[in-house]
Amino acid sequence: MKALVLEKQHELSLREIDLPLDVGATDVKIKIDTVGVCGSDVHYYTHGRIGSFVVEAPMVLGHEAAGTVVEVGSAVTSLKVGDRVCMEPGIPDLTSRASKLGLYNVDPSVVFWATPPVHGVLTPYVVHPAAFTFKLPDNVSFAEAAMVEPFAVGLQAAVKAKIQPGDTAVVTGAGPIGIMAALAALAGGCSRVIVSDLVDEKLAIAARYPGVTTVNIRREKLADAVAKATEGWGADVVLEASGAPQAYDGIQNVIRPGGCLVLIGMPIEPVKLDVSSIAAKEIRIETVFRYANVFDRALQMIASGKVDLKPLISETFPFEQSVAAFERAAQARPGDVKLQIKL
């Protein structure tokens, strides 16, 4: 099949490649309709690696996907041919200790699309376990369904934060995951979310949503803005979604005593945390790596109308222009949130 292949760092091609399409008893075959361009895909393109995951051989990109079932395995009863679906891209070992603890996202043996050496789904057809394939409600489009995967990251953060009704949350970083974390926090019960960033265009996109206020930290200190908004008490929850080492400087000053810090972004270098100040306020720290047991809930939140991700889709490219889509994503234009490719 034709696929978008990362040949090596900085080199993409749209070409034929042999990919397995054998449908096992518990699998389904899916005709891909829409795939989102994720920051991790772009990072592999521009840097050739993310941490210990290194691109050492040609790899098909893409893991945020939706499509239509065209074949089902002999043991599949939950899906049928013609069903519109989205797919959770990580396949864990369900017999592993991590999976038995409900932590399959950190299972060392998980097989995750477009993570070296595993091929992704920017190709016309894929085979996937039915257990990690979710039927779309009629009111959810393919474009929205391809956003379930990144929204699940934000929802995982909201779940880990243990948000209480009426909480005030702060999100540092107004990229795609930051905005989705803000929306998940609002849907999870927060009365308001303060989103910070350095770029006005990104903040303007976040500010379209009711309940979101923004702070440009080039012009105002985040701690001052939060203190003003909370009468000096601090935020109940801080969701760090930028991955910028600078975001950690003084972050404890933004959080109320007994509050929670959730780390979503992946810094590319070690960061410094003031542990003494964090301990003195008994701030709880949680971390996020992908998601577990929230994918179906993310889909239902979109279907219910509680979360509207359509405004975050900046542009859709045809499959034939996949390379151009990645070149555009690598430019990191301030007004872009999510680019998608339609097959």
pLDDT by residue (tens digit) across 62-100?
A: 999 999 999 999 999 999 999 999 999 999 998 999 999
* Residue 302 domain flag: no
Q: Are residues 160 and 281 in the same domain?
A: yes
Q: Are strands 255-263 and 192-197 parallel, antiparallel or unpaired?
A: unpaired
* Residue 206 domain flag: yes
Kindly indicate the confidence band of residue 50, based on its pLDDT and cuts at 50, 70 and 90. confident
CATH number of the domain within which 79 lies: 3.90.180.10
* Whole-angstrom Cα Rg for the chain: 20
Q: Are residues 175 and 222 in the same domain?
A: yes
* Residue 292 domain flag: no
pLDDT at 317 exceeding the cut of 90: yes
Q: Are residues 54 and 189 in the same domain?
A: no
Q: Are residues 207 and 180 in the same domain?
A: yes
Through-space distance between the first and last CA atoms of the chain, rounded to whole angstroms:
13
CB 281 within 8 A of CB 258: yes
What is the C-alpha to C-alpha distance for residues 30 and 81, in angstroms, rounded to an integer?
9
* Residue 281 domain flag: yes
pLDDT by residue (tens digit) across 117-143?
A: 999 999 999 999 999 999 999 999 999
How many domains would you assign to the chain?
2
Of 202, 306, 199, 287, the closest CA to residue 239 belongs to: 287
Question: Under DSSP, is residue 186 helix (H, G, I), strand (E, B) or coil?
Answer: helix
Q: Are residues 139 and 172 in the same domain?
A: no
Q: Are residues 187 and 99 in the same domain?
A: no
Q: Which residues contact 332 (CB under 8 A, 6 or more apart)?
A: none
Q: Are residues 127 and 159 in the same domain?
A: no
Q: Are residues 26 and 99 in the same domain?
A: yes
Measured in residues, the chain has a length of 343
Whole-prediction pTM: 0.95
Instruction: Give the domain range for residue 232.
Output: 154-287
Q: Are residues 165 and 239 in the same domain?
A: yes
* Residue 10 domain flag: yes
Report pLDDT for 52.
Answer: 83
DSSP, res 297: H
